[in-house]
Amino acid sequence: MKRPFWVKISQILGVFLVVFLFEGCTTGPSNQDLAREYYNIGNAFSQLKRYKEASDYYRRALELNPTMNQADFNLARTLIETEQYSLAYERLELLRSQDPENLLILRSLAYASYFLNDKKKALEWYRQVLERTPLDKETLFNTGYVAQELGLGKEALGYFLEFRKQGGTHKELLKLLVQLQKEFGVPEDEKKILEEFLVQDTQNVEAHVRLGEILESEELFKPSIQAFERARAILEAKNTPDSDLTWRIAALTLVRLQDVDAALPLFEKAFSQGFTKSEKVASLLALEGLPQKERLTVFFAEKGPKGGSIVP
């Protein structure tokens, strides 16, 4: 299963040498000292990512001091690192019963739940974290990530926007925002996100087309055509032309810019790319105020799709 972003163990759970605020009574000086020694050796192995050895030493520490909760917690983390998520979850639940407000435990439960393929439970744990620390950037991102995987796009967008507002950055953030803004966002906000995203990913055809659509809806026709043209150029460079997109650019150039000379080569290119929708040609010729209509009619009769009426 793919990991959520920003959820490396060292990030989501804090540094490995964490010391819990709660720790039970010790069993005696000698056992306490030896347990602490085993705990420290476990931490050293953890830092080397030798999690099996780390787990062994945490277990030894707990055998000598069963109430050494920091060893118990770090053991749960090594279980997560070795993909023993069910065992980790069980230990974390016991620790939570002793300290239900501990954010490290709650985040860890969310993380383990995610990899147990219980994303609904993971989302519940992350929401609990945000109830206690609503501006925590890592949790905002992770909550949004899990929410969008569950199809809760509007909720996910809210978390991602707050993450961004708090100064959070992630290589996938703009891509996620582009996807969610299209369906749930405000067009003006979506346009800003798209423009920023396209600085990062200049070859994203879908983003160029979407930006063109927004600009067209705002009646910014020249910038709209430019956005569509960038998408067309990328597709043609890959030898995967889109005749519908070429037609769209040609129609905008003709109808909105009233530039027949610029539009005709684009129409001809669309036909050479396989555009065959004669009804689109007929609808275009039926428009009021079309410049040089006779010239256009002759052009489409000669160059346009065959087998269908193009005369309105």
Tens digits of per-residue pLDDT, 281-312?
A: 999 999 998 999 999 999 999 998 864 444 33
CA-to-CA separations, 236 to 229, 239, 253, in angstroms, rounded: 10, 5, 19
Q: What is the CATH number of the domain that holds 77?
A: 1.25.40.10
27-59 per-position pLDDT tens digit: 445 789 999 999 999 999 999 999 999 999 999
Compute the residue count for the chain: 312
Reported as a single tens digit per residue, the pLDDT across 224-261 is 999 999 999 999 999 999 999 999 999 999 999 999 99
Same domain, 153 and 163: yes
Q: Are residues 40 and 86 in the same domain?
A: yes
Q: Do residues 162 and 54 share a domain?
A: no
Check: CB of residue 122 under 8 Å from CB of residue 139: no
Q: Which domain holds residue 157?
A: 134-185
User: Which residue, 202, 213, 288, is CA-closest to 252?
Assistant: 213
Q: How far apart are CA 96 and CA 129, in angstroms?
A: 13
**Pair 121, 139 in one domain:** no
Residue type, 165: K
Asked if residue 147 belongs to a domain, the reply is yes
Per the rule left: phi > 0, alpha: psi between -120 and 50, beta: everything else, 23 is beta
How far, CA to CA in Å, does 39 sit from each of 53, 127, 177? 11, 32, 43
Is 93 a member of any domain?
A: yes
Q: Are residues 3 and 128 in the same domain?
A: yes
Are 128 and 139 in a shared domain?
no
Residue with tokens 């193009």: 310
- For the stretch 66-115, pLDDT in tens is 999 999 999 999 999 999 999 999 999 999 999 999 999 999 999 999 99
Q: Total domain count for the chain?
A: 2
The model's pTM is 0.69
